[in-house]
A and B are shown apart, each in its own frame.
Chain A
């Protein structure tokens, strides 16, 4: 009984870390540009298919296909940003629809190029079993994906908080005008955010290909997963993305173990809703709760927009 729980938690942590990896790129762009890239899942899938192509055509292992995938997806990500930058007004809403359209294009493009058949890596190592301490099982690929995820989360966190580019990105996200005055070029930085998101998506995609089967419709599901983890984490720092992913991963795994596998998705969604109801701005709201609601009596995640003018009032 205990072993069962432990195995569930272990698998859950691994899959949760992978969820975080999927979500990372979306969260970065959402956090810095307030843009939700609904084509994010498709970019991940694209990377997976590149890995597949290189393996089936040239026998390359997924690891080896990383550089090529990085280039392909990086260019696509830049392309997505290029289109978004062309939106003249209402960027938040219009970029949503734009990327949604792009997602449809990419998914169908993948369908046309690679057909609807499911694909999976032939490599042995990826599916090989790894045993931790005698009784905890995992696939090698799962373990690697989780490890890569944690590493990337840490790197991203450090980069955002300690490098000049990282700080500039945060400056642009809070005030584009002020950032410009300090010599920062918002467009360049937004492009950089997008490309980094593309890089993150590539890692997720190659890991995806090593660990499970892929099919064109997966893009949609990946985007939803990424979106859920991102919103769950809230518009905050990167660490909540990992926490959110792990949380969902573990809850899902426990549900599968103790209830039934068909309820797996249900548990994820229910957890998602439960968290949002308590913390309307996601997990990052935990930090904000220690600072009580401001003078306007409105909390950050709620739908009221405190009039900007109010901040100019004095009592």
Chain B
């Protein structure tokens, strides 16, 4: 579904991504791991159009992608932000109305919104102010809901589980699996926790210092010597 070829991103003399070639196949869940600063979020930024790559190209569903940021949602690319970014001055439901109306390309569809609210368990909280009245778990749920409301084919999750305690994490995980099946999603998941990756992802890609270190099944990848070295801290200069 998604093909990245030789993607490079450079700013201010810093090489955030270098020659990254990666594929996400339809229906699979790809894990994206790597130490802090490896370029994972930057990769998301490239795919969702927030950052323009300085080199390489991107194909989505067989077509080259290069348009402005706001066109990506219509194409079917949805993402969450690591630190949730709710739409200010709006309620939860209004957040989803905006997402659904502008992101799906279809006219307003309250049924879809109800569906999404159900899926993330926010139906009871739909009239709360999105920026000021939600707990952390609810904010994360909204973040996922917003992306879902745009009717994505590809959903990219950036550390959705960060900050949640074990029980919350488990519940959230169960919701995600349900959502994945319900909406037939291809997913790319950035995560630090290896167990989460193992249980959620079909394949895993490892980034470090902006380069793709390894790619394959969870077992293959986590036993790869380079990967182990990158996590135990030997630095590459």
Contacts and interface: CB of A to CB of B under 8 A. Distances in A.
Interface of A: 291-297, 307, 309-310, 312-315
B52 A295 contact: no
A297 B36 contact: no
Given A313-B81, A315-B41, 19 more contacts: A291-B12, A292-B11, A292-B12, A293-B12, A295-B16, A295-B51, A296-B50, A297-B50, A297-B51, A307-B85, A309-B81, A312-B83, A313-B41, A313-B82, A314-B37, A314-B41, A315-B16, A315-B36, A315-B42
A67 to B, nearest CB: 50
Given A307-B85, A309-B85, A313-B82, A295 B40 contact: no
Interface in B10-30: 11-13, 16
Main secondary structure on chain B at its contact with chain A?
loop
9 contacts: A294-B11, A295-B11, A295-B45, A296-B51, A297-B50, A297-B51, A309-B81, A312-B83, A315-B38
- Range for the number of chain B residues in contact with chain A: 20 to 34
Interface string B26-56: 0000000010111111100100001110000
Contacts of A294: 11-12
A295 B11 CA distance: 7
Contact of A314 (B13, B16, B36): B36
B85 A295 contact: no
B71 to A, nearest CB: 15
A68 B174 CA distance: 76
Given A292-B11, A315-B37, A297 B45 contact: yes
Contacts of A293: 11-12
B39 A315 contact: yes
B145 to A, nearest CB: 19
Contacts of B39: 315
B34 to A, nearest CB: 8
B130 to A, nearest CB: 14
